Structures are given as C-alpha cells and as structure tokens.
C-alpha cells in the first residue's frame, strides 16, 4: 500500500519537531515550497499542526488502549498512532480505513514492522470508541486545570496560570483559540494596488479580503501565499495584525534616528524604514548573523534600501555614540500568545523559563533605555501573555530609570487610531496605562503586549 504525500510530509515534520527541536511552521514552508498539490499541502498542514495542538489529549486517549504510557513507544510508532487517532477524531471526511491503514504503513516504512499489529489494533479500538463524549473519560475528581488541560491539550501549569489571571470563561476562549488555525494576515506594501494584487493572487487560488483591525491589513485564504509571484516580488508580506500594530506605536517621523533591537526576521523593521524615509537612519540589530541575513533577504524581496544591520548582544551596553529618537525592543519571549501558530511551544515551555526570560528581557530593555534620546519614545513588546514578561519587566525598568515614564494612554491611542480599520476603536486595544494588548479568542489575531515609554 502506498502512503499519501500529505501523510509522508506530516510524519517527517512531526519527527523533526520531536527529535530536532524544529518548528513545524518553518518545516511546512520548506516542504510545501513546490511540486505539492494544494490538497496535499492542506492535509499535511492540518495533520502536522493538529497533532501538535492536540498532543496531550491524543496521548491520554491512546493510553486507555495501550494500557501503558505512550511515551514508552518508539518515536515513529508514537507519531503514527497520534496521526491516525487525530484523523479519526477530527477529520471526518477521511475514511477510518485510510487513517488506520496508512498509519500502519508509516510504521512499516520507518522499519518498525514489528509494531504494525499494535498500531492497527489500537487505532481500530480507538475508531470504535471515537463517538464517546471526551468529557466522560476524564476522572470526575480531576482538578479544573487538569481537566481543561487534558480536554484542550495544554500543560496543566499553564492552564492554572491562565485561570488565576483571566478566569474560567476567558481561559476557555483562549484555549479554544489556540487549537484553531489562526487567521492568515498580510500587509500590502502599496495599498493602492490592492485590486491588481487581488487579481494576481486569485490566479493562484488565493483570496484577499479586508483585515479585522488595520486599515491596510488584509486577510488571505486558500492556496500558498508565500509561494506566489506577488510575494516573491515584494508586493505583500505575511504578518499577523497584532504584529503589524507594534511598530506603528512608535510614531516614527521622516528623518528620525531609529533603533530596532532583536530585529530579525525584519517584519517590524520594514515599516520603520519606510516611516523614517531616505533622510532617516534605521539600525536593525540582532545577536545572530544568520538572523541578520534573514533581515537582509526580507529587504531585498521588498526592494527597500536596507537598514544598517549590526550584530550585537542587546543585553549588554550598546555601542552607539549618539542616541536614538525612537527605539523598538521586540524582546525574545515564551510566545504564549502564538500557540495556535506555533503549537510545539506549549510542550517545550516550563515555569522556570519565565524567570530566565524576564531577566534577559529586563537587561535588553535597560540597555535600550540608555540609548534613548531626551524626548524620545521606546516601545517594548512581546508575543507573550505572561505578566512576568510584560508588566513586571516594564515596572522594573521604570523603577530603575529616572526620567522614564509611560506615554499617556490618550496619546498612544491617538497615534494608533488613524491606522485602524473603520469601526475599530483604539480604546479597545489600549488599556488605561497606554499598553497595547490583544488576547486570542477576544481579538482576531495573536496575543501581543506592548508598552510605550518616553524619556
């Protein structure tokens, strides 16, 4: 029996995510670059990301049929049964026979033929009981966070945090949002050419619609936008709407000196370069040379004059002689606001990571503050939902930086409002402290935080 290209791709991606620490999104982009039918690309994406999102629940259900921990299985066997069970539970259009048989074949091709009867038996038993309500399978005495963690497939410690901070209703919304495919948004680099771009993308089976939050953001659906001619020609970039908003909060003006720390891959740098204009100066810094090469490639694709690229450790004192009017600190973080887009993150995080990252984030922010000119503006942002990485870092920096203050909420909202889509109020995105915040499940985008600081 042959295995469909989609399942081969998904199996290889899941194997590399587990064994190499790779990210599924990057691997999918690489695997689907060319020569893959649209239907196969869609199924490979659904299976690989779906298995990662639902991993805990899948293993919980598998344990009932295996009578032992799934973790004791060889990795190829474990991945094959996870894939098969995911299809049985969530992809009703796929015949159960195909889901079971191709999982068995995957094990055989991985040279684990001795496990083929086990995979076949487990998945057939799972298929017979797949109609049972999942809630009824969880012990009735399970704690709320444990129960939600199993049902929605998240680590219990993370669910506990969110319940304490957001309450039950908002937490369930957040958990649900993390298990749905996120919106695919883009920024048009020349909004006046929307009609031309729409026609070009339609020829590739891609639909272009208005975005939800920003005037110049657009939603994409169907096809593979990053493989289109229009993308290669720099007519648009794929970027979540919340991510698009962050650089707008700086309010860069023509001719200003701008510093973008932790700049790679350059999605937030590009609008800063446009706003500063030919007479401005934009420095894009990152710690790793290969990430700076990604920024350079981004600018080459967009046909923008490249920013000044500098390789440096942003947590150390910065080497610049003159201060900057505007600074963006898009800090490295846990990424808990992007779990729908990067589902493997939820299985790699540990509570102690928050402490470690907070220390790094504060060091970077304090170094940046030293480079901010009097009267200048700094935006500190993350794609994390965790207070330790957001408010706590900002409050610590304010306590250690005399003369630094939060920008008034009214001025932050006024800076953002002209960029928003009709009917969207900046007040719905900016809190009383002038902080920008989005939450999956409440907003149609990733979860972001940004604080606007002034000297």
Which are the catalytic amino acids?
Answer: 383
Q: Which residues 6+ apart lie within 8 Å of 13 measured at CB? A: 22, 24, 27, 28, 31, 44, 48
Measure CA of the first residue to CA of the last residue in the chain; give whole Å: 67
d(CA 192, CA 206): 19
d(CA 81, CA 166): 35
Q: Alpha helix locations (H) across 203-348? A: 229-232, 241-248, 269-276, 289-302, 345-348
Tokens encoding 417: 């409002």
Dihedral sign for Cα 439, 443, 449, 451, please: negative
Please state, in angstroms and as integers, the Cα–Cα distance from residue 252 to each residue in 77, 260, 273, 330, 411, following that order.
53, 12, 9, 16, 14
> What DSSP character marks residue 361?
H
Compute and round to an integer the Cα radius of gyration of the chain.
23
> What DSSP character marks residue 420?
B
**Count of CB atoms within 10 A of residue 303's CB?**
10
| DSSP-assigned letters across all residues of 88-123 | HHH-TTS-HHHHHHHHHHHHHHTT-GGGHHHHHHHH
265 preceded by a cis bond (ω within 30 of 0) = yes
CB 407 within 8 A of CB 454: yes
What's phi and psi for 217, nearest 5 deg?
-95, 150
Q: Which residues 6+ apart lie within 8 Å of 36 measured at CB? A: 5, 9, 44
Instruction: Count Cα neighbours of 206 within 13 Å in the Cβ-side half-sphere.
Output: 22
Whose structure tokens read 């999918």? 28
What's phi and psi for 156, nearest 5 deg?
-60, -40
**Count of CB atoms within 10 A of residue 156's CB?**
17
| DSSP-assigned letters across all residues of 245-262 | HHHHTT---TT-EEEEET
């Amino acid at each position: 029996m042959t295995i469909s290209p989609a399942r081969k791709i998904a199996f290889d991606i899941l194997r590399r995510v587990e064994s190499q620490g790779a990210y599924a999104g990057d691997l999918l982009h690489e695997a689907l670059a060319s020569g893959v039918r649209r239907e196969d690309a869609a199924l490979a994406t659904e299976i690989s990301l779906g298995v990662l999102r639902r991993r805990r629940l899948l293993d919980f259900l598998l344990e009932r049929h295996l009578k032992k921990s799934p973790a004791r299985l060889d990795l190829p066997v474990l991945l094959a049964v996870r894939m098969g069970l995911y299809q049985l539970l969530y992809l009703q259009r796929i015949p159960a026979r195909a889901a079971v048989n191709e999982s068995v074949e995957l094990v055989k091709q991985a040279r684990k033929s001795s496990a083929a009867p086990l995979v076949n038996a487990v998945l057939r038993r799972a298929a017979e009981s797949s109609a049972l309500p999942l809630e009824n399978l969880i012990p009735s005495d399970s704690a709320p966070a444990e129960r939600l963690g199993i049902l929605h497939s998240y680590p219990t410690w993370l669910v506990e945090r969110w319940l304490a901070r957001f309450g039950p209703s908002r937490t369930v919304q957040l958990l649900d949002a993390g298990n749905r495919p996120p919106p695919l948004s883009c920024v048009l680099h020349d909004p006046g050419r929307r009609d031309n771009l729409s026609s070009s993308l339609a020829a590739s089976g891609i639909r272009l619609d208005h975005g939800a939050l920003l005037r110049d953001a657009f939603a994409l659906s169907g096809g593979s936008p990053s493989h289109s001619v229009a993308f290669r020609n720099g007519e648009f970039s794929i970027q979540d709407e919340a991510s698009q908003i962050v650089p707008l909060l700086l309010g860069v003006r023509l001719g200003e000196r701008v510093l973008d720390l932790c700049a790679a891959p350059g999605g937030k740098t590009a609008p800063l370069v446009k706003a500063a204009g030919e007479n401005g100066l934009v420095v894009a810094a990152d710690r790793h040379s290969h990430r700076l090469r990604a920024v350079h490639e981004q600018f080459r694709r967009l046909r923008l004059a490249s920013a000044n690229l500098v390789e440096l450790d942003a947590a150390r004192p910065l080497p610049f002689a003159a201060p900057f009017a505007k600074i963006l600190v898009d800090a490295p973080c846990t990424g808990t606001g992007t779990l729908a887009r990067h589902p493997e993150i939820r299985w790699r995080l540990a509570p102690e990571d928050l402490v470690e990252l907070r220390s790094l984030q504060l060091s970077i922010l304090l170094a940046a503050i030293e480079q901010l000119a009097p009267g200048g503006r700094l935006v500190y942002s993350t794609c994390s939902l965790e207070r330790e990485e957001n408010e706590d870092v900002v409050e610590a920096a304010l306590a250690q930086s005399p003369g630094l203050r939060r920008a008034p909420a009214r001025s932050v909202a006024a800076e953002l409002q002209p960029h928003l889509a009709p009917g969207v109020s900046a007040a719905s995105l900016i809190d009383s402290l002038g902080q920008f915040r989005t939450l999956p499940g409440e907003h149609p985008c990733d979860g972001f935080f940004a604080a606007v600081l002034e000297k």
